């Protein structure tokens, strides 16, 4: 492709989605709606090959996620193998059913970092959103994580149902001794896109939440880091999704599909290469999928002549697909896009309260979506 570097810079961040199995049912899960169609999982040895090849290419940060990575019996073995390869290893988990023995086992295996998600500051709401009684479990796991000397990272996905708890969520984080809190508003892909009208906060809710986040950022300076992210839909310019397609992040799905972003699977005619068929280096450097949005040859107007194209790379292609039906359009979050109205209309539609219940992420609901 013209305009592309001959050899792209290597991946730095590897996200190993070990499994789509999860005991929780969050209605904003970023896993594909039809995840039940991808039930075959890579074996331990296949994962080891992926880990080794990615490290040889230059990946340094490694996230184990899912689904729920704790479901995999070989998690400690994979952590230990990665540790020996020299990765900085992160476990991205709900913490559900994670006991002290598991925390010790993972520490001994060389795990560097644990990020626990919590759904709300109250048991009632947490357990409702998680679709599983898990609040007490998560809180005690958070304390154990701290006790065992990990950096204590709490992640709370915000949406219309819990954003009013912002202050209580931050007080809970202080109480648990969190070193870092990620308060990330839902982004609308996967299950969250399906539930968008029920999850989207109002402008007023967002402004109130931001004020509280700023207040705590000031008062907790030097004690607890707070990272607050607003939904793309309320921005005027798109984000540089994945730091630019095929520049930094490599995601491997449970069945071995290699993805430039966690949602890439939904792109039409997008033949995801599989690690069972190709090496990581072949996939990263030569596959059509990873080269698809590299450079700017693919861009249409207004991106093509935009002075910000080297900053945002046209935004998020999966969002462009979901909203406009064409992944090569500008991300309509951008107010320079002629289709920006799709975003503002979606906000208007979402704020007219709906009686539609949330669709929870579980196998029964997944089966209604076709591959
Ligand atoms: Fe796929 Fe943004 S999530 S490009």
Pocket test for ligand 1, best of 192, 238, 251, 319 (most atoms within 8 A of CB): 319
Q: Report whether 317 contacts 289 (CB < 8 A).
A: no
**Which one, of 43, 14, 19, lies nearest residue 31 by Cα?**
19
55 CA to centre of ligand 1 in angstroms: 23
CA gap 309, 311 in Å, rounded: 5
Q: Give the pLDDT of residue 6.
A: 62
What are 15's two structure tokens? 């996200």
Cα distance between residue 297 and residue 357, in whole Å: 42
CB 181 within 8 A of CB 121: no
Separation of alpha carbons 206 and 106, rounded Å = 37
Reading the block at residue 43, the tokens are 């074996």
**Degrees (nearest 5) of the Cα angle 365, 366, 367?**
90
Q: What pTM did the predictor assign?
A: 0.94
Instruction: Evaluate whether residue 4 is within a structural domain.
Output: no
CB of residue 241 inside a 6 A radius of ligand 1:
yes
Q: Is the CB of 267 under 6 A from ligand 1?
A: no
Q: Walk along the chain (371 residues) and give the pLDDT tens digit of each residue.
A: 444 556 799 999 999 999 999 999 999 999 999 998 887 999 999 999 999 999 999 999 999 999 999 999 999 999 999 999 999 999 999 999 999 999 999 999 999 999 999 999 999 999 999 999 999 999 999 999 999 999 989 999 999 999 999 999 999 999 999 999 999 999 999 999 999 999 999 999 999 999 999 999 999 999 999 999 999 999 999 999 999 999 999 999 999 999 999 899 888 878 889 999 999 999 999 999 999 999 999 999 999 999 999 999 999 999 999 999 999 999 999 999 999 999 999 999 887 877 789 999 999 999 888 75
Q: Is the CB of 318 under 6 A from ligand 1?
A: yes
Interface confidence (ipTM) of the complex: 0.95
Alpha-carbon distance of 141 to 100, in angstroms, equals 8
Asked whether 263 lines ligand 1 (CB < 6 A), one says yes
* CATH for 144: 3.20.20.70
Phi, psi of 227 (to 5 degrees): -115, 115
317: Cβ below 6 Å to ligand 1? yes
Would you say the CB of residue 322 lies under 6 angstroms from ligand 1? no
- Identify whether 5 is part of a domain: no
Does residue 329 have its Cβ closer than 6 Å to ligand 1?
no
Distance between CA 211 and CA 228 in Å, rounded?
A: 11
> In angstroms, rounded to a whole number, what is the distance separating the alpha carbons of residues 130 and 136?
12
Residue 264 Cβ contacting ligand 1 at under 6 Å: yes
- Considering its fold, how many domains does the chain have in total? 1
Specify the residue with its C-alpha closest to ligand 1, atom 1.
318
- Pocket test of ligand 1: the residue of 186, 188, 241 to mutate, having most ligand atoms within 8 Å of its CB, is 241
Residue labelled with tokens 């310019």: 237
Please work out whether the CB of residue 160 comes within 6 Å of at least one atom of ligand 1: no
Dihedral over Cα of 342, 344, 350, 352: its sign: negative
Give every CB contact of residue 168 below 8 A, 6+ residues apart in sequence. 121, 122
Inside any domain, residue 354: yes
pLDDT at position 297: 92
215 belongs to a structural domain: yes
- Report how far residue 247's alpha carbon sits from residue 279's, in angstroms, rounded to the nearest whole number: 17
- Whether 130 is in a domain gets the answer yes
If you measure from the C-alpha of residue 73 to the centroid of ligand 1, how many angstroms do you get, rounded to a whole number? 30
The residue whose CA is least distant from atom 2 of ligand 1 is 316
- Which pLDDT score is estimated for 147? 94
What lies within 8 Å, CB to CB, of 121 at 6+ separation is: 162, 165, 168, 169, 171, 172
- The crossing angle, in degrees rounded to 10, of helices 166-176 and 135-147 is 40
CA R_g for the chain:
20
Q: How far is the CA of 15 from the centre of ligand 1 (A)?
A: 14
- Is the torsion defined by CA of 221, 227, 228, 233 positive or negative? positive
Ligand 1 center to 90 CA (angstroms): 21
For residue 268, the model assigns a pLDDT of 81
How many whole angstroms from 242 Cα to the centroid of ligand 1?
7
Pocket test residue of 239, 299, 318, 322 for ligand 1, highest count of atoms within 8 A of CB: 318
- Are 82 and 113 contacting, i.e. CB atoms less than 8 angstroms apart? no
Residue from 165, 331, 303 nearest 238 by CA: 331
Would residue 301 count as lying in a domain?
Answer: yes
Has residue 3 been placed in a domain? no
Report the Cα 331 to chain-centroid distance in Å.
18
Residue 1 within any structural domain of the chain: no
What is the Å distance from ligand 1's center to 54 Cα?
A: 21
Domain residue limits at 289? 10-370
Measured from the CA of 245, which atom of ligand 1 is nearest?
4
Burial (0-12, 13-18, 19+ Cβ within 10 Å), 267: buried
- As a whole number of angstroms, the distance between CA 200 and CA 187 comes to 9
**Which residues is 117 bridged to in the sheet?**
155
Tell me the binding residues for [4Fe-4S] cluster. 22, 26, 29
């Amino acid at each position: 492709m013209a305009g592309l570097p001959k050899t792209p810079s290597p991946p730095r961040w590897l996200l190993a989605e070990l499994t789509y199995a999860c005991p929780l049912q969050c209605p904003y899960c970023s896993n594909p709606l039809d995840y039940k169609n991808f039930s075959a999982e890579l074996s331990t040895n296949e994962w080891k090959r992926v880990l080794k090849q990615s490290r040889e290419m230059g990946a340094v940060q490694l996230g184990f996620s899912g689904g729920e990575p704790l479901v995999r019996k070989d998690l400690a073995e994979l952590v230990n193998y990665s540790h020996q390869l020299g990765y900085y290893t992160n476990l991205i988990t709900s913490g559900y059913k994670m006991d002290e023995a598991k925390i010790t086992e993972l520490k001994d295996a060389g795990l560097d970092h644990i990020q626990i998600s919590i759904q709300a500051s109250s048991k009632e709401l947490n357990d409702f959103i998680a679709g599983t009684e898990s609040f007490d479990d998560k809180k005690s796991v958070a304390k154990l994580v701290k006790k065992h000397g990990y950096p204590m990272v709490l992640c709370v996905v915000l949406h219309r149902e819990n954003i009013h708890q912002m202050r209580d969520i931050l007080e809970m984080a202080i109480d648990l001794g969190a070193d870092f809190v990620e308060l990330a508003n839902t982004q609308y892909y996967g299950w969250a896109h399906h539930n968008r009208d029920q999850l989207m906060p109002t402008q007023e809710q967002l402004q109130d939440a931001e004020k509280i986040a700023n207040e705590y950022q000031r008062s907790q300076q030097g004690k607890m880091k707070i990272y607050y992210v607003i939904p793309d839909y309320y921005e005027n310019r798109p984000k540089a999704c994945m730091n630019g397609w095929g520049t930094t992040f490599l995601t491997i799905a449970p069945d071995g599909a290699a993805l430039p972003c966690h949602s890439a699977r939904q792109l039409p005619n997008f033949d995801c290469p599989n690690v069972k068929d190709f090496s990581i280096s072949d996939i990263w450097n030569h596959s059509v999928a990873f080269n698809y949005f590299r450079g700017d040859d693919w861009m249409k107007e207004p991106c093509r002549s935009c002075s910000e194209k080297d900053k945002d790379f046209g935004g998020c292609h999966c969002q462009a697909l979901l909203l406009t039906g064409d992944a090569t359009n500008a991300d309509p979050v951008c107010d320079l896009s002629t289709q920006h109205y799709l975003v503002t209309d979606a906000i208007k539609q979402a704020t007219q309260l709906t009686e539609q219940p949330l669709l929870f992420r579980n196998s029964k609901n997944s089966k209604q979506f076709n591959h």
